[in-house]
Amino acid sequence: MSSPRARVLLIVAAACIGCARTLPEAHAYLSPTAPQPPVTAADTVTRLVLDSALASVHARDAQPIIVSTSAGHLTSRSLPHSSRFVLALLSAAEIQRFADDHGDVSYLEVYPVQFNGDTASVEINSTVAIGRPSHQGPVVQDGATSCDWIVARHSDRWVVVGSRNCLTLD
């Protein structure tokens, strides 16, 4: 069985998601979120954790990625630079609209950094938004994989220690 991180399949969508008929066509309309330099410790820690999580993803180059947050704390300063993936930040509503228009979509949901002295943790969930044929009703989600990522400060820099407490719900 592969690790929870390796099973993460990520897709990205953008504002023009209703313009295309198929998932590959939808990807042609994507507007990636360009990473900016981090400003806060939370930006730096989140960027490091996302970079580590993406390093374990086995997908073809330029695979689109959805990165979402329910707390609205992520910005382009939290995203890593990647030559393998196209990254975009979307709200839960935008992800659901994409799933409604193009079918089930996997994505990452990143939670706020929790600091405790010289350590920090970030929870990342990989989940699936299920398309609703009628485009109405409650948001529909399917199984998820969740991991807490641990980061420690060594001297003046943050270093990813690894993931822990990984759970998969089907």
What is the count of structural domains for the chain? 1
Residue 81 located in a structural domain: yes
Residue 74 located in a structural domain: yes
Q: Distance (Å, rounded) from C-alpha 20 to C-alpha 17? A: 6
Residue 147 sits in which domain range? 17-169
Residue 105 located in a structural domain: yes
Residue 5 located in a structural domain: no
Residue 3 located in a structural domain: no
Per-residue pLDDT band for 139 (boundaries 50, 70, 90) equals: low
pLDDT of residue 138: 67
pLDDT in tens, 84-124: 777 878 888 888 888 888 778 778 889 999 999 999 999 99
Residue 27 has pLDDT above 90, yes or no: no
Residue 138 located in a structural domain: yes
CB burial class (10 A; 0-12, 13-18, 19+) of residue 155? exposed
Percent of the chain with pLDDT over 70: 72
Residue 82 located in a structural domain: yes
Residue 130 located in a structural domain: yes
Taking alpha carbons only, the member of 60, 105, 107, 111 closest to residue 87 is 107
